[in-house]
């Protein structure tokens, strides 16, 4: 077969968390027989989760080192038969498009696991109802399942496998939001689940369509259809899908493109399919918001790049202007909505919507800088928005509300926190020197020649971004100290462990984005060729 197995690293990265989840199931089983106390079971689950995610992170670091950016094909391939009757394979690998996302997933998962630990002993701010104390083994098991799903999506090169991992992710998310979430958790959880599922079932039909109209490959002497994404990409580039029979009277490629796009657009989230995000983010517990914003939102863009751009380039060209327009709407619309928010977490949720618009804008320009900026934005946003949500988590744990106007002058009481908050906010608004600027700027560089008006409008929306962030800082941090918070403790070590690494990375990549761009450039260039 093409692309023979070269390394099982990705399989280890994908399934180590599931192995951890099984161990936790055992822990639950032992606990139910009474042999283990609640505290011991909780600690055991936490340790298993930490070890599993740390192991994945170590593997991700190795992957980064060992990845060869000068080759544009897939590396670290593992290829095995899964369902021979339909030529469905277990085919995983990384190339420039997915490597940053795999590493990001490992990093953010690890940070989220740390953020799921209760505060160190001595800080008696948490009661038994805090999400870090309730049903801990179940939480850790769900978290680990989620990690598997996320990594699996990014490494899958078989479209069926991709779809299975995509759906696998939904289940743990539903429970994580619905059981450990905030006031309206059930509503937020079912809304997230239904909305994403509705999008992805349309994707399923498109996938089946791509399969049946796709290339035939020789398997054991006979020709069979395939789900191989790379083969589909070749076929699409060569115009194979153009000869597919019309669907409902419309061109197959366009219908399939739209069906896939809707599924991915819900995840991005793109206006008008974005309204699940504020509810899901706000009601989810902090580490889950971190994962949701840091990793899950990236899947939509990744899917578009891998499937829509890969297999259906002609339809992508047809839809480019629409994508750019929607990207601009995302940026501007969501920025204005942020300005009106009183709940800090909701504001940051909408700012995520806004920033993902940059990716759409960059991608749709079909320039090297545009698409580099878009994928770079995935990385930088993947660092910044987890930090933002962790920041919100810190204040919510202490004040038990997130009303921006209910704070005031906190910089006097919690200066370290104020500094970190300032860093995160400035990174998100695109201050040069921090990584958010680099990606925004690159996107604008790429899209200005192609979509001048839209880029100008988007660039002015950056001002609105600055407005809402600075206004939030002013209302929360500056001015006279709100007497209610005279005794607020500053960030503790557990929070520092999650915030400082991200802060460091944000600063480092603000000055040295080349590290990422070098990884992604070649593969993106290859992806872009049929579109230019």
Partner 1 sequence: MGNLESLRFFWPESVLTLATLSMFIQDLVTRRSARRVQVLTAGALFWLALAALATWKMPGGTVPLFGGLLLHDPMRMFFAWIFLGATLLTILIVPSSKQISANRLGEFLALLFALVLGLYLMASATDLLTIYLAIETVSLVSYVLTGFRRADRKANEAALKYVIYGGVASGVMLYGVSLLYGLFGTTRVIGAGGIGAQLADVTSRLFLAHAFGGQPAAQLALVVAVVFVLAGVGYKIASVPFHMWCPDVYEGAPTPFTAFLSVGPKAAGFAVAIRFFFAVFEKQLPGGVYAHVTEVPWPAIIGIISAITMTLGNVTALVQDNLKRMLAYSSIAHAGYLLMGLGAASTAGVQSILVYLVIYVFMNVGAFLVVIAVSRATGGETVSDFRGLGSRAPIAALALTVFLFSLTGLPPLAGFTGKYLVFAALVQQGGFWNVVLAVIGVLNSAVSLFYYARIIKAMYLEDAPAAEPIQVPALYTGVLVALSIPLLVFGLYWGPLIRWAAIAFGGTPAV
Partner 2 sequence: MTWVLIALAAAAVVSGVLFGLPKLWSGHEPLLESFLAPSLPAAEKVPFREASHSTELLFQLIGVGIAVVGWAGARALYLDAKSTVPERLKATFPRAWAVVFNKYYVDELYQATVVRFSLWWSRALYWFDQNVIDGLVNGVATVGRTIAYIDAAFDQKIVDGAVNLLADSFLHGGARLRRLQTGRIQAYLFGALAGAVAFVIIQYVIR
CB 201 → partner 1: shortest distance, Å? 4
Q: Least Å distance between CB 87 and partner 1?
A: 8
Q: How far apart are CA 58 and CA 372, in angstroms?
A: 26
Smaller CB separation from partner 2, 339 or 459: 339
Q: Is 480 exposed, middle or buried (0-12, 13-18, 19+ CB in 10 A)?
A: exposed
In the complex, minimum distance from the CB of residue 272 to partner 2, in angstroms, rounded to a whole number:
5
Nearest approach in angstroms of CB 210 to partner 2 is 28
- Tell me whether residue 276 or residue 469 sits nearer to partner 2 (CB atom): 276
Task: Using alpha carbons, list the distances in angstroms from residue 346 to 276, 393, 410, 451.
Answer: 12, 12, 20, 30
Say which entry of partner 2, partner 1, none residue 189 contacts (CB below 5 to 8 A, set by partner kind).
Answer: partner 1
CB 94 within 8 A of CB 23: no
The residues that touch partner 2, with contacts defined as CB under 8 A, are 191, 194-195, 271-272, 274-276, 333, 336-341, 464, 467-468
Q: Which is nearer to partner 1, 219 or 531 (CB)?
A: 219
Cβ proximity to partner 2, 336 vs 396, nearer residue: 336
Q: Is 318 exposed, middle or buried (0-12, 13-18, 19+ CB in 10 A)?
A: middle
33 class by beta-carbon count within 10 Å (0-12 exposed, 13-18 middle, 19+ buried): exposed
Q: Return the one option of partner 1, partner 2, none that residue 444 interacts with (CB less than 5 to 8 A, by type).
A: none
DSSP 448-467: TTT-HHHHHHHHHHHHHHHH
Give the residue with the Cβ less far from partner 1, 247 or 431.
247
Q: Judging by beta carbons within 10 Å of its beta carbon (0-12, 13-18, 19+), is residue 50 exposed, middle or buried? A: middle
Residue 531 contact, options partner 1, partner 2, none, Cβ 5-8 Å cut-off depending on partner type: none
The three-point CA angle 442-446-451 to 5° equals: 130
> Considering beta carbons, is residue 335 or 520 the nearer one to partner 2?
335
Separation of alpha carbons 155 and 489, rounded Å: 42
With beta carbons less than 8 A apart as the criterion, state whether 258 and 203 touch. no
Give the nearest distance from C-beta 45 to partner 1 in angstroms.
Answer: 15
Question: Residue 357 in contact with residue 414, Cβ under 8 Å?
Answer: no
Least gap, CB of 355 to partner 2 (angstroms)? 16
> Whole-number minimum distance, CB 304 to partner 2, in Å?
21
> Residue 239 binds which one of partner 2, partner 1, none, with CB within 5 to 8 A depending on kind?
none
343 binds, among partner 2, partner 1, none (CB under 5 to 8 A by kind): none
Q: Which is nearer to partner 1, 174 or 426 (CB)?
A: 174
Give the residue from 342, 484, 489, 485 showing the smallest Cα distance to 402.
342
d(CA 195, CA 201): 10
Radius of gyration of the chain (CA): 23
Q: CB 251 → partner 2: shortest distance, Å?
A: 26
**What's the min distance (Å) between Cβ of 245 and partner 1?**
6
How far, in Å, CA of 297 to CA of 269, rounded?
7
Look at residue 245 and give the partner it binds from partner 1, partner 2, none, a contact being a CB closer than 5 to 8 Å depending on partner kind.
Answer: partner 1
- Taking the least distance from each CB to partner 1, the nearer of 47 and 247 is 247
Nearer to partner 2, 468 or 485 (CB): 468
Q: Alpha-carbon distance 181 to 330, whole Å?
A: 26
Residues 520 and 442: their CA atoms lie apart, in Å, by 14
When the beta carbons of 170 and 508 are compared against partner 1, the nearer one is: 170
Structure tokens at 271: 């206006």
Residue 168 binding partner per list partner 2, partner 1, none, with a CB distance cut-off of 5 to 8 Å that depends on partner kind? partner 1
150 binds, among partner 1, partner 2, none (CB under 5 to 8 A by kind): none
Supply the minimum distance, in Å, between the C-beta of residue 273 and partner 1: 14
Bond prior to 293 in cis (omega within 30° of 0): no
Residue among 459, 474, 376, 379 nearest 425 (CA)? 474
Min separation Cβ 198 and partner 1, Å: 4
CB 322 to partner 1: min, Å: 21
Tell me the three state secondary structure of residue 76. strand
Q: Measured from the CB atom, is 155 or 277 closer to partner 2?
A: 277
Residue 333 interface partner, choices partner 1, partner 2, none, CB cut-off 5-8 Å depending on type: partner 2
Helices and strands counted in the chain (H then E): 22, 4
In angstroms, the Cα distances linking 35 to 24, 30, 49 are 15, 6, 21
Q: Which is nearer to partner 1, 209 or 300 (CB)?
A: 209
Nearer Cβ to partner 1, position 194 or 340? 194
What crossing angle do the helices spanning 252-267 and 313-339 adopt, rounded to 10°? 30
- With CB under 5 to 8 Å by kind, the binding choice for 35 among partner 2, partner 1, none is none
Per CB under 8 A, residues contacting partner 1 are 28, 32, 82-87, 163-164, 167-168, 170-171, 174-175, 178-179, 185-186, 189-190, 193-194, 197-198, 201-202, 204-205, 208-209, 211-212, 224-225, 245, 247-249
Out of partner 2, partner 1, none, what residue 467 binds, judged by CB under 5 to 8 A for its kind, is: partner 2
Question: Closest approach of Cβ 339 to partner 2, in Å?
Answer: 3
**139 touches, from partner 1, partner 2, none (C-beta below 5 to 8 Å by class):** none
List phi, psi (to 5°) of 228.
-65, 120
276 binds, among partner 1, partner 2, none (CB under 5 to 8 A by kind): partner 2
Q: What is the rounded distance in angstroms from the CA atom of residue 512 to the CA atom of residue 507? A: 9
């Amino acid at each position: 077969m093409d692309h023979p197995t070269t390394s099982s690293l990705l399989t280890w990265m994908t399934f180590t968390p599931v192995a951890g989840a099984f161990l936790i199931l055992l822990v639950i089983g032992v606990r139910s027989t009474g042999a283990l106390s609640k505290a011991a079971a909780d600690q055991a689950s936490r340790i298993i989760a930490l070890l599993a995610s740390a192991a994945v992170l170590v593997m991700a670091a190795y992957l980064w080192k060992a990845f060869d950016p000068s080759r544009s094909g897939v590396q670290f391939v593992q290829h095995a038969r899964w369902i021979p009757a339909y030529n469905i394979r277990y085919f995983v690998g990384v190339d420039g498009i997915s490597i940053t996302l795999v590493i990001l997933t490992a990093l953010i998962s690890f940070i989220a696991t740390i953020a799921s630990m209760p505060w160190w002993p001595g800080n008696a701010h948490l009661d038994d109802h805090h999400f870090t104390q309730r049903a801990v083994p179940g939480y850790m098991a769900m978290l680990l399942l989620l990690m598997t799903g996320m990594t699996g999506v990014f490494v899958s090169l078989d479209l069926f496998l991709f779809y299975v991992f995509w759906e696998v992710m939904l289940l743990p998310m539903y429970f994580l939001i619905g059981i450990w979430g905030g006031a309206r958790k059930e509503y937020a959880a079912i809304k997230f689940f239904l909305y994403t599922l509705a999008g992805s079932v349309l994707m399923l039909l498109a996938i089946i369509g791509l399969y049946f109209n796709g290339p035939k490959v020789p398997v054991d002497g006979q020709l069979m259809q395939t789900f191989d994404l790379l083969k589909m990409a070749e076929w699409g580039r060569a115009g194979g899908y153009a000869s597919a029979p019309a669907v409902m009277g419309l061109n197959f490629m366009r219908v399939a493109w739209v069906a896939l796009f809707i599924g991915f657009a819900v995840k991005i989230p793109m206006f008008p399919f974005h309204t699940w995000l504020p509810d899901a983010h706000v009601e989810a517990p902090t580490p889950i918001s971190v994962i949701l914003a840091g990793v899950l939102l990236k899947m939509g863009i990744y899917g578009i790049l891998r499937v829509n751009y890969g297999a259906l380039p002609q339809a992508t060209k047809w839809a480019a202007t629409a994508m750019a327009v929607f990207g601009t709407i995302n940026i501007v619309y969501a920025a204005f909505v942020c300005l009106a928010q009183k709940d800090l977490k909701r504001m940051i949720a909408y700012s995520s919507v806004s920033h993902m618009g940059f990716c759409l804008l960059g991608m749709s320009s079909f320039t090297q800088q545009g698409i580099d900026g878009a994928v770079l934005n995935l990385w930088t946003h993947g660092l910044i928005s987890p930090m933002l949500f962790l920041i919100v988590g810190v204040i919510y744990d202490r004040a038990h509300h997130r009303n921006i106007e209910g704070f005031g002058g906190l910089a006097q009481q919690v200066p370290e926190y104020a500094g970190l908050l300032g860093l995160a906010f400035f990174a998100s608004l695109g201050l040069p020197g921090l990584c958010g600027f680099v990606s925004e700027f690159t996107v604008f560089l790429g899209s200005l020649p192609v979509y001048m008006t839209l880029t100008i409008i988007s660039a002015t929306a950056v001002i609105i971004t600055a407005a809402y962030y600075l206004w939030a800082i002013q209302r929360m941090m500056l001015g006279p100290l709100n007497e209610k918070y005279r005794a607020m403790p500053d960030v503790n070590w557990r929070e520092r462990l999650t915030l400082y690494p991200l802060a460091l990375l944000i600063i480092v990549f603000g000055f040295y984005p080349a590290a990422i761009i070098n990884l992604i450039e070649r593969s993106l260039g290859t992806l872009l060729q049929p579109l230019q």
